């Protein structure tokens, strides 16, 4: 019997399946992974998630394991090094946003004790489950992603518009948009 999954479209790779089955819409509370996903979602703007997953290991290597304390201290020399790294998305604005976001991330950790407390605080620690039936039911953004986006921007984050934030909230499990019949809900 075939395992039922959300309709993942035409670009299904082994990495996409693994991500869907084990990470997407699964609650994440480790600050390091919350930062990693924020960077990856920002890098995804304008390209496919499949491309990001194919380059994820390269991103983790290039960005020092997504350690926000290290990324926050990147200077122009490191940015130039990243701009030459063919294993990642070489977009100066996105790379700069990762550095800016690391600095803002550390400030949020300082203010709230952890980024986890901050980001999950928008839902009182609860997962928002939309019980979707098909792709047409999934919004690109919603009131929650608009609220989180506005707060992140207010705190100095970049590349955190409501659509990117909606995808981020799915990626860290605040929003569960697995379809009702999906075996990986």
By annotation, the residues acting in catalysis are 19, 41, 49
Reduce the secondary structure of 52-72 to three states and give it as a string: HHHHHHHHHHHCHHHCHHHHC
Cα Rg of the chain, angstroms: 16
Q: What are the structure tokens assigned to 174, written together?
A: 């605040």
Assess contact for 144 and 175: CB atoms under 8 A. yes
Residue (of 152, 151, 161) closest to 44 by Cα position: 161
Neighbouring CB atoms inside 10 A of 157's CB total 22
Q: What are the structure tokens assigned to 28, written together?
A: 């994440």
Q: What are the structure tokens assigned to 22, written together?
A: 């084990």
In sequence order, the 6+-apart residues with CB closer than 8 A to the CB of 80 are none
Assess contact for 79 and 92: CB atoms under 8 A. yes
Residue (of 11, 30, 6) closest to 172 by Cα position: 30
């Amino acid at each position: 019997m075939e395992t039922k999954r959300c309709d993942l479209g035409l670009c299904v790779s082994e990495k996409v399946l693994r991500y869907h089955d084990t990470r997407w819409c699964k609650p994440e509370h480790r600050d390091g992974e919350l930062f990693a996903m924020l960077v990856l979602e920002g890098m995804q703007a304008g390209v496919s998630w499949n491309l990001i997953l194919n380059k994820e290991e390269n991103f983790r290597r290039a960005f020092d394991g997504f350690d926000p304390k290290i990324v926050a201290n990147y200077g122009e020399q490191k940015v130039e090094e990243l701009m030459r790294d063919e294993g990642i998305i070489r977009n100066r604005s996105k790379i700069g946003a990762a550095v800016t976001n690391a600095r803002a991330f550390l400030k949020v950790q300082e203010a709230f004790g952890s980024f986890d407390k901050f980001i999950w605080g928008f839902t009182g620690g609860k997962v928002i489950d939309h019980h979707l039936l098909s792709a047409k039911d999934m919004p690109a953004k919603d009131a929650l992603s608009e609220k989180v986006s506005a707060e992140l921007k207010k705190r100095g984050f970049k590349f955190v518009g409501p659509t990117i934030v909606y995808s981020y909230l799915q990626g860290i499990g605040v929003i569960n948009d697995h379809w009702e019949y999906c075996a990986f809900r």
